[in-house]
Amino acid sequence: MPANEFLLPQGRLIFSHDLPDNVYTLITGGRAPAKDWLDAARRGHLWALDHGIDICHEMKLLPERLIGDGDSASSQAWDWALAAGVRTEHFSPRKDLTDTQIALHRLKEAHTPCFLLITGAFGGRFDHAMSTIFSFAHMHLPGLLADEKEACFFLRGNERLAFAAEKKAKAISLLPMTEECLGVNLEGTAWPLQDARLSQHEPYAVSNEFAVESSSFSVSLAKGVLAVYLYWE
């Protein structure tokens, strides 16, 4: 696979820059990904974040590391990880950061370039999903959130990416993670954009779709941080 590509079961992401070789799959505590999707998508190091250990336990995937306060994980799954010798960081629930934020900080503090696939981030509590999306967007760690139904990846100033679909998403949305995103270009969709300004105060570029003749699209921006969100039925 080329150094600037990342493969999901739904399609191929092509970035404008090479990706780090070091890949981490983080399973957090929202909606569990489908087992066949996770088997196909996951790679590299596997970490479980609190309730994510239940997903690992159910799928018989032993993580390298478990991070969390244990408030949403089952004791059976947690004990399974401890008995297997999984490196564990157990925190009090009375803490400032979420379990996912702690994991992101751990990876940032390691000073080793890495690419992250975070799954189990959707379909649970909205506050946790929003916290994860904004934290990831501004941590300047390359990667994406994804499962078989949804995906969210990030562009920062002067970056470009393309998505070549194996399965066309029902919706393509562009969501500003900064107050504004400038110089946004979108091609291969029913409603393209050219040198557009997107504002966080009124994020209107939602529910776009692939152009009829296209199974790929590309997006770029000059300034800001932009989330590209895809939804499959």
- Which pLDDT score, from 0 to 100, does residue 73 have? 77
Two tokens, residue 103: 């994991």
Residues 118, 52: Cα–Cα separation, whole Å: 11
> pLDDT for 40-80, tens place per residue?
999 999 999 988 999 999 999 999 999 987 677 788 998 99
- pLDDT, tens only, 165-208: 999 999 999 999 999 999 999 999 999 999 999 999 999 999 99
pLDDT (0 to 100) of residue 111: 82
| 115, two tokens | 């690419």
Instruction: State phi, psi for 194 to the nearest 5 degrees.
Output: -135, 120
The pLDDT, as a whole number, for residue 124 is 76
208, β-bridge pairs: 172
Token look-up 């967007």 returns: 137
Percent of the chain clearing pLDDT 90 (strictly above): 79
Helix axes 75-83, 52-59, angle to 10 degrees: 70
| Host H or E run for residue 82 | helix 75-83
Q: Residues 28-44: what's their mean pLDDT?
A: 93
Q: What is the DSSP string of 86-150?
A: -EEEE--SS-SS-HHHHHHHHHHHTT---EEEEES-SSS-HHHHHHHHHHHHHHT--EEEE-SSE
Percent of the residues in the chain that have a pLDDT greater than 70, as a whole number: 100
Averaged confidence pLDDT in the chain: 93
Q: In whole angstroms, what is the distance from residue 52 CA to residue 146 CA?
A: 14
Residue scoring higher pLDDT (115 or 70): 115
Residue 216 has pLDDT above 90, yes or no: yes
Pairing mode, strands 115-119 and 23-27: parallel
Average pLDDT on 3-32 reads 94
Phi-psi region of 148 (alpha: psi -120 to 50; beta: other; left: phi over 0): alpha
225 band by pLDDT with thresholds 50, 70 and 90? very high
The span from the CA of 25 to the CA of 48, in Å, is: 9
Q: Which of 27-31, 50-54, 88-92, 127-131 has the lowest mean pLDDT?
A: 88-92
- pLDDT bucket at 98, cuts 50 / 70 / 90: confident
* Global pTM exceeds 0.95: no
Give the mean model confidence (pLDDT) for residues 31-42.
Answer: 94
